[in-house]
Structure 1
Amino acid sequence: MATFLYRLGRFAFVRRRAVLVAWVALLVLLGGAAAAFSERPSEEFKVPGTEAQTTLDRIKGAFPEQANASGQLVFTVDKGRRLTDAAPRAAVLAAVERVADVPAVASAAEPFGARAVSPDGRVAIAQLGFDEKVSDVTDADRSAVREAVGDAAADAGVTVKYGGDAFVPPVTAGSSEVIGLGVAVVVLLVTFGSVVAAGLPLLTALIGVGVGLAGVFALSGSFELISTAPVLALMIGLAVGIDYALFIVSRHRQHLAEGMVPQEAAARATGTAGSAVVFAGLTVVAALAGLSVVGIPFLTVMGLSSAAAVLVAVLVAVTLVPALLGFAGTRIAGRRRTRTGTSTGTGPEADRPPRETFGTRWARLVTRRPVAVLLLGLLGLGALAVPAADLRLGLTSPGSQAEHTSARQAYDLVSERFGPGFNGPLTVVVDASGAPKPKQAVARVTAEVGRMPGVAATLPPAYDARSGTAVVTALPKTGPDSARTKQLVSDLRDHRADWKETTGADVAVTGTTAAAIDVSQKLTDALPPFLAVIVGIAAVLLTLAFRSVLIPLKAIAGFLLSIAASTGVVVAVYQWGWLADFVGVPRTGPVVSFLPILLISVLFGLAMDYQLFLVSRMKEEYVHGAAPRDAVVRGFGHSARVVTAAALIMVSVFAGFVFDDDPIIQPIGFALAVGVLVDAFVVRMALVPAAMALAGRAAWWFPRSWERVVPRVDMEGEALATEPPVREPVGAGPRVKV
């Protein structure tokens, strides 16, 4: 691999104009295709095969409104007034009548006839039904409803809040990523001390993200693109794009400091650091693509979209980066002297002993006290992981939105005045087509559902005579994210056999709340097998990379510790509410149901990145003759600075999304930022060198019987060692900080 990438890097350096034009042309072409063929992303997290989804698909012919978006107009008046008074009542009725005429609105039920007025008369709810799915409700549709309400209600002293799934703000990439990019710029400037060197990784990452996202949108017409997928692809693509370019640029500058000509330095950087980039990138791609084995369509789309962004980042790193290094020439070096001790030039400076870096000093400290470092690290990670035992999963609702949004304000008003269950109704479907007396069967089931302990009330059933099916709306006593509501759904389903026996009707439970419960349960069940698949992938890839038995085992153990610790922190903040105000959590409650499986997938790939970059430099030193402990210290000293910079950049990019108001994107960004922080700075930079020092030569042991079977992957550039590097004449090389 190293030889192939060496030649590729040399080719890209020499043919830099053609390579640059090719990438720009690809960006323009895919951008045009995205503009022409992209479809609006979906906001629905559907899981085929669950009871809720299967039932919904079965009844949408008889009850199409069940599959479409719904909304609420929540009217309020000040204390001391009532909506049943003449002026407020007239304003509410007029507003509902005008909204009913909006083309996208299929139905609008005025609150007085529907008895949707709070006991104190200050809050009333008009239920809206749309003639399209949630993902098809446009901003223009929402604006049309608001315009229809107009100022008449306000003139009568009536305030209107817009709630329901139709008025939940769509998931979009906002300005939050700019914060992460700003921090990344600072880190790159401090790391390289050169504007050119700092700007190159940012430029290539942005081009890579542009190509990846344009490609995803260009193909979105052939599959249902979930709205979270492009934002996740942007988040991950930007982070790894900067990091991969950073590793190659850093190695290039090191080779320049050793006296190589720019072309040779770029080619060797692509052959050595580029090999680690390719292997690490393919590991991330495999982990993200592995989401498809769960069998949940929206997770498959999220995983493949992000995998495509990472794959583009790898291609950019090994082609466009060396091409741009050709344009930069020696300006990439900056004006600072190397800190690795590699000196170019002559004179007194060249005779000074090399200065020991902080990374080398840290590695010496860790390897002198490996047992103490391991015990301290394990205790700390164990403490962080404790809350993970209380993990509860759920999907977001309008109540998860930020407090300043109309959807959240409407949700809180309804919950306060009508009860929390009004925001999470359950749809009980009674198929009485096979019952001897269909209408009597529906009436009996409705009455018995209303008497169940967790049910606050039931609404009159809607009956379709042609299909013999009725829909009964049951209002729980608890909110949609409550464990008691989940238990109620289970209790209703447990009664199906009794109802079938006594009435002859088939009963099923569906609706948004039941669907969210089903999705969460399916994702919970998928966690153990998915984790097993990920661990298997890690074992195979790391065995190929390092030809070692012990290193893959240590890497997997570290990865599992990182997952447990980061999950524990997420539970403590987003579920328990610790530091929730500081982080800006809109509402505490169950963790987003697909976050753990997504965290496992993404963090696995990123953890393997740092494992590969750190340990490959250790193996490089060991292969070239260093003693095991010296190889750990030297390899860590060479790579610690750039891995630290890479981790800080990745943390900052992910943490930037914590400032996003979206209740899905925010916890994902937080979880990934914490996960990378823990994995990079505790596991990889403390536990790994400590464990390597304790293992000694055993860390590199590989059975002879496996040598003949396992393919050899030359990530250390052993093949390149046989070719003498092309160097600058003495005194001509730039002095570089690496």
Structure 2
Amino acid sequence: MLDKLAALVTVRRKLVLVLSLLFCVVAGGLGASVTTKLSAGGFDVPGAESTRAADTLSERFGTGEPNLVLLVTAPDGVDEAATVRKGEELTGRLAAEPGVQEAVSYWTLGKAPSLRGAHADSALVLAHIEGDEDQVGRYLEQIRPHYQDGFEGLTVEFGGRAEANRELGDQIQKDLVLAESLVLPLTLILLVFVFRGVIAALLPLALGVVAIIGTLAVLRLLTEATDVSVFAMNLTTGLGLGLGIDYSLFVVSRHREELAAGATVSEAIATSLRTAGRTVLYSAVTVALSLSALLLFPMYFLRSFAYAGIAVVAFAALSALVLLPALLAVVGERVNKWSWSRRGSEPAGNRVWSRLAAFVVRRPVPMATGAIAVLLLLGSPFPGIRLNLADERTLPADAEAHRVNTVLLHDYAAREMDPLLVVADGSGAPRGRTADIDAYARRLSALDHVSRVDGLTGSYADGRPIAPATAFHRRYAAENGTWLSVVPAVDPYSDEGQALVRDVRTAKAPFEVRTAGKASAFRDTLDALTGRMPYCLLLIAVTTFILLFLLTGSVVMPVKAIVLNLLSLTATFGAAVWVFQEGHLRWLTGDFTVTGGIVATTPIMVFCLAFGLSMDYEVFLLSRIKEEYDATGDTARSVVRGLERTGGIVTAAAALIALVFLSFLTSGITHMKLLGLGLALAVVVDATLVRGVLLPAFMRLAGRFNWWAPAPLARLHRRIGLKEGGG
């Protein structure tokens, strides 16, 4: 198949280039508007208890968790008579804004102490804007201009989830421009150094650009059918450029190697596709299947990374197998033009990798022991990982939502922005059940870590009433139901906050209830992630095993690859915990706010992406080792020869893709920094310690057992396994 493709592309090279250019024009026009269609949310679990409760609050009660907070600062103090009048007027105007279902404040709630700052110079206005993240964002864009310059002498600052999502979208756009302006010229310089020539160095960038353009078009089409997260843009540019470089590096290096051996351009292209091209195809399938595991999770934030990643892999592989051979056919012998080296072989020193491989093969046990010790040391912080959700603290410290959140944490005692909302829809006419509501509110207020409970019958604390029912408390009733607000005294992401969710959900209630709010949503997120994670691991393990078996005919090599990848990723996660959870190396990664935890979805993204990229190098290296073994039957010699011929390419590919991912550290968003550092570290560790030390040491110790498979599977591989077809 690849021989026929090589012949077709070589003969029809001009047509391929014209069609590719036409595709870029059409796809570029289609994908140009994608940023206006992407969403900043996607962390909630569809169908979970917290999600259904939040929907009920909005639809039946016209309220919900406060997703917009105005921090109002008064120069004369918030209790001065003129300030009280202005505060009430501000609250009323905000409540009348489009999309605002409800707005309350320190002044409209009878000067509630929890809504006044510690120095009495600021107070809060809390509002709920209806709709999903996109609708909330559109309403907020209409609201902000009315208050961002203040209100009758009062200083007004915006915070809350709605404002944080708006700023996240803006920050992503800034981050992309900055990262691309840095990574593109640096990548080109490194490519010139790797290929020792300008023409060959430009080819990988061309493939990366095509992969990015095609993926943006796919994402734009997907926005017509489903929600897509704005964070998919980062992965599109990073992975598109990285895989475009990776795949073209494999093919171009083999092509130049064949030319140096005396092959014609057509023969070199054919051999390159039959060998490196086959590796690219296998690698693309492996990476795509690893990323497809993200589709198992219900949150569209994670699913969006699968959409972008699978599309990027497909376009990068297609470009490497179709567009790149056409470019090589047009360029011909000029691929080595403007080169200061006549060698057309791999771009790194063969002697270095040959000597390293020979050294490891002679001393497999101490080398493997040392490498494993290093990985375990790096991974030692991993057992202490703590998880949370993305909030205002993931933004830069000078972002408005982040500043407001900091003031709330330091100057306001109760966590009014993080209530646990208890919804009892369909419980009957609430005014006929005031005794039940009163008893239930008392019971909830007596729970540990509860600051206050508000409901139809008044406000409660420590198991007793603290305020009678007023006109404000009527908001807790609807025609056939009621709800209560449980204000916590602890962080919703802490162990105590999660214990409170459990206690509220299991507390004896006179009617059926569901809970919403930040703490409840976090509990449902953790349940969804842990519930789907075994299936994610199983899918990746099974597909990896099948693909590597088809490549090698061995059942040992797939198991070895899975174990080594897991060991490598443990080191990656340990380093991520040490840096981002414990707050080390902020001078190197760019300053960020240490929250004492890691956004729960990020480790899953890192795992699926890093596992796929690790298999990328695994396939490339094993393919070359297997080619040598089929020719010689000598495992030790094949390992040395395989590393000699591919070690430099793997190192160069890892350095290039690590550079792309390290550009994420310029992001102002903490979990994007973590994603970039995690992927860069995973790639570097895999290409050095794992592929350079552990893999050859293991293969030397296993000997001929490397290629063992039970007789039935061996016969199956002879029938359907991939053969090199001549190299």
Fold conserved (TM > 0.5)?
Answer: yes
1:299 aligns with 2:309: no
The residue aligned with 1:508 is: 514
Q: 2:441 aligns with which of 446, 452, 458?
A: 446
Q: 1:210 aligns with which of 202, 208, 213?
A: 213
Maintained 8 Å contact 2:228/2:300? no
Alpha-carbon shift at residue 434 of structure 1 (Å): 5.0
1:17-416 maps to which residues of 2 (within 5 A)? 17-34=14-31, 39-41=37-39, 43-66=41-64, 70-76=67-73, 81-86=76-81, 88-89=83-84, 92-93=87-88, 95-96=90-91, 99-100=94-95, 102-114=97-109, 115=112, 116-138=115-137, 141-149=139-147, 151-153=149-151, 156=153, 158-168=154-164, 169-171=167-169, 172-173=172-173, 174-178=176-180, 179-334=182-337, 335-338=339-342, 356-416=350-410
Change (3 A) 1:20 1:682: same
1:634 aligns with 2:641: yes
Alpha-carbon shift at residue 636 of structure 1 (Å): 0.5
The residue aligned with 2:665 is: 658
Cα separation, 2, equivalents of 1:60 and 1:356: 65
Question: Alignment partner of 2:78: what SS?
Answer: coil
Alpha-carbon shift at residue 215 of structure 1 (Å): 1.4
Residue 158 of structure 2 aligns with an amino acid whose one-letter code is Y
Alpha-carbon shift at residue 647 of structure 1 (Å): 0.6
Change (3 A) 1:365 1:716: farther
Change (3 A) 1:660 1:418: same
1:677-692 maps to which residues of 2 (within 5 A)? 677-692=684-699
Question: Alignment partner of 1:586: what SS?
Answer: coil
User: How well do the aligned residues superpose, as a CA RMSD in angstroms?
Assistant: 2.7
Q: 2:524 aligns with which of 498, 518, 524?
A: 518
Cα separation, 2, equivalents of 1:379 and 1:457: 51
Question: What are structure 2's unaligned runs of at least 5 residues?
Answer: 457-473
Alpha-carbon shift at residue 438 of structure 1 (Å): 2.3
Question: Alignment partner of 1:452: what SS?
Answer: coil
The residue aligned with 1:587 is: 594
Alpha-carbon shift at residue 532 of structure 1 (Å): 2.7
* Of 658-667 and 244-253, the range deviating more from structure 2: 658-667
Maintained 8 Å contact 2:298/2:528? no
Maintained 8 Å contact 1:123/1:417? no
Cα separation, 1, equivalents of 2:247 and 2:179: 18
Alpha-carbon shift at residue 269 of structure 1 (Å): 0.9
CA deviations 1:142-179 (Å, max 9, x no partner) are 454343125455x84x5432101111113435234323
Alpha-carbon shift at residue 390 of structure 1 (Å): 1.8
Question: Alignment partner of 2:59: what SS?
Answer: coil
CA deviations 1:508-548 (Å, max 9, x no partner) are 21123311221123212332332233222211111111111
CA deviations 1:225-248 (Å, max 9, x no partner) are 233234333332322122111111
Residue 175 of structure 1 aligns with an amino acid whose one-letter code is V
Change (3 A) 1:100 1:255: same
The residue aligned with 1:572 is: 578
Cα separation, 2, equivalents of 1:430 and 1:702: 60
The residue aligned with 2:454 is: 459
The residue aligned with 2:505 is: 493
Greater RCO structure (CA 8 Å; 6+ sep): 1
Residue 374 of structure 2 aligns with an amino acid whose one-letter code is G
Cα separation, 1, equivalents of 2:721 and 2:550: 10
Cα separation, 2, equivalents of 1:176 and 1:713: 47
Aligned pairs, number: 694
Cα separation, 2, equivalents of 1:373 and 1:420: 56
CA deviations 1:183-230 (Å, max 9, x no partner) are 322321111011111111011111111111211212311112233234
Change (3 A) 1:635 1:574: same
Cα separation, 2, equivalents of 1:145 and 1:60: 19
The residue aligned with 2:422 is: 428
Q: Percent identity?
A: 30
Maintained 8 Å contact 1:10/1:264? no
The residue aligned with 1:610 is: 617
Cα separation, 1, equivalents of 2:720 and 2:24: 32
Change (3 A) 1:150 1:538: closer
Q: 2:712 aligns with which of 679, 685, 705?
A: 705
Residue 130 of structure 1 aligns with an amino acid whose one-letter code is I
Change (3 A) 1:510 1:94: closer
Residue 556 of structure 2 aligns with an amino acid whose one-letter code is L
Cα separation, 2, equivalents of 1:265 and 1:340: 11
* Of 176-185 and 198-207, the range deviating more from structure 2: 176-185
Residue 616 of structure 2 aligns with an amino acid whose one-letter code is D
Question: What are structure 1's unaligned runs of at least 5 residues?
Answer: 343-353, 722-738
Cα separation, 1, equivalents of 2:674 and 2:499: 26
Change (3 A) 1:555 1:686: same
Residue 281 of structure 1 aligns with an amino acid whose one-letter code is A
Cα separation, 2, equivalents of 1:513 and 1:688: 44
Cα separation, 1, equivalents of 2:280 and 2:452: 59
1:544 aligns with 2:550: yes
Cα separation, 2, equivalents of 1:356 and 1:414: 59
Alpha-carbon shift at residue 94 of structure 1 (Å): 5.5
